[in-house]
Chain A
């Protein structure tokens, strides 16, 4: 173990870590609302909303994320759209992630008893109000565990950004290794830092599940742990 080497490269690694955190955050913050509307559109009674959303989800769920990333980084400039490396990575990851997350959110909405919809409709409650007050509060607890699992996969997936010239945690670790030939030290540090981000997500999940359980007056079995 060469601690001194680690110290030399720590500023670059730390910088990469911050970029990974930022990229993860931006990707999740943008994908979640898009995924939410995709999920609603896929359930819509209007074919004009339902079909494009269904095609989008099925296409981007089926493609390797790396292909989507390469497309955003290498292919878009061919059409005159020049994005910075960070922008291209963000765009590619958001497009792919929103397709995955949409399915997790849709599964939660679909699991709500259809009788809830009948009751809300019969009472004359407007759709958006019923969604906010009645369907979502029941769908979110169901969607949360798969959503967090997917979020963790997305955080790990940001490592792909290193392949389109983003200086994220993986890129900095790989660069340090290529200079120092000390893979063990830098891979261990990178792994620990990824673990840190995802442990945080798992803690958030636990807290959210507990809050939901309290709100519903239910006893919760125990803290959930989803770290991959």
Chain B
């Protein structure tokens, strides 16, 4: 479903991501772990071209993102073409990034109406169903500032789902939450996983990676250090750097 080939991202002289290749199958939950500054969020942002890659290829659902082939030639995608690719890729951010002047419902209906051309009525029906699904059936008309962090993040998930994406990118979605609110967001993500949503999840929640992910990749210094099923990578890491990272994380967890 998602193929990342030899991805490289450079900011000026700083190489944030180097030679990263990932392969995510449909319905898979793919966890990316690593220290902050290791480049894991940048990998996600390259997948939907929020950060255009310096080099490498991104494929989502059999289509190249950001590059279009016409005749035998490759050219950069136009803004309108990029929008269509992005519409297939849902993204949820660490800081929610809800539209503060919109209610929960308005946050969810905006993109389906603007991008998918849904009528207001259809968009509202869809949004209510999705907000129900994330447990916010009673918060349709609340503005973000009246919602807790966990509730805001669940609205953000519903907003991304409203585009009927083929894959969801989750960028440290619980990192900005108070500890007691983390579980309600992880719960929604577990439900999504059960329902077969393909997800790339950048996370510090090792328990979530262990219990929900099909595959885990450890990133350090912008490169993939080690990759494997969570039962192997988290329990019996092969690389010294992975071991050191997990020890640090588990100590702070306990």
Q: Which residues of A contact B (CB under 8 A)?
A: 113, 115-116, 118-119, 121-127, 129, 133-134, 137-138, 215-217
Contacts and interface: CB of A to CB of B under 8 A. Distances in A.
Interface string B153-164: 000100110010
Given A119-B93, A124-B163, A127-B79, A134 B99 contact: yes
A124 B115 contact: yes
Closest 10 CB pairs of A and B: A124-B87, A115-B97, A119-B97, A123-B111, A122-B91, A124-B83, A124-B86, A124-B115, A125-B114, A137-B101
Nearest to A116: B97
B99 A119 contact: yes
A210 to B, nearest CB: 15
A129 B50 contact: no
Given A115-B95, A133-B110, A122 B100 contact: no
B84 to A, nearest CB: 7
Contacts of B160: 122-123
A134 B80 CA distance: 19
Contacts, number: 66
Nearest to A121: B50
Contact of A125 (B80, B111, B146): B111
Given A122-B89, A217-B146, 20 more contacts: A113-B97, A115-B93, A115-B95, A118-B97, A119-B98, A121-B86, A122-B50, A123-B110, A123-B111, A123-B159, A123-B163, A124-B87, A124-B114, A124-B115, A125-B111, A126-B83, A127-B79, A134-B99, A138-B100, A215-B101
Given A115-B93, A118-B50, A129-B114, A123 B99 contact: no
B190 interface: no
Contacts of A122: 48, 50, 86, 89-91, 160
Given A216-B143, A217-B143, A124 B84 contact: yes
Contacts of A215: 101
Contacts of A124: 83-84, 86-87, 111, 114-115, 163
- Residue in A121, A122, A134 whose Cβ sees the most chain B Cβ within 10 Å: A122
Contacts of B163: 123-124
Nearest to A119: B97
Interface in B84-135: 84, 86-87, 89-91, 93, 95, 97-101, 110-111, 114-115
B43 to A, nearest CB: 15
Contacts of B97: 113, 115-116, 118-119
Contact of A123 (B100, B115, B146): B115
A115 B95 CA distance: 8
Contacts of A133: 110, 114
